[in-house]
Amino acid sequence: MALYSEKVMDHFTNPRNVGKIEDADGVGEVGNAKCGDIMKIYLKIENDIIVDVKFNTFGCGSAIASSSMATELIKGKPISQALELTNKAVAEALDGLPAHKMHCSVLAEEAIRSAIKNYYDTHGIAYDKAQFPDPHED
């Protein structure tokens, strides 16, 4: 059995939405010191819809594939739906990730949440702080 699904390999070798949005409405950056992966997500938002999303990821193939798939899953969607995206949904959309690479899908979820929180903060939009728990607090 192959370690990575065809979808993981496709999103790694042909990642979607790579790049930077210069005038992004929200930017989120997260990293995992243990594995060295760093993800940065850029959002362009109009009328509460994510009209464009780009990413830059420094990391392994699973991190790049997770970033690519996550951006595909939220592009064109309302912010409320993007906030519901889970790492499990990202991994399932990729037809699975090896257990030791699941943290990559977690980073994708955290990067999107971080970008949305940044959008809310920089535009003075009120939000429920419970929607943005600190993943590093115990």
Catalytic sites, residue numbers: 35, 104
Instruction: In whole angstroms, give the CA distance from residue 118 to residue 3.
Output: 35
Count of CB atoms situated within 10 Å of the CB of 137:
5
- What b/e sequence results for 24-33 when a residue is b if at least 16 CB atoms lie within 10 Å of its CB, and e otherwise? bbbbbebbbe
- Helix 61-74 to helix 6-13 angle (10° resolution) is 90
- What b/e sequence results for 56-81 when a residue is b if at least 16 CB atoms lie within 10 Å of its CB, and e otherwise? ebebebbbbbbbbbbbbbbbebebee
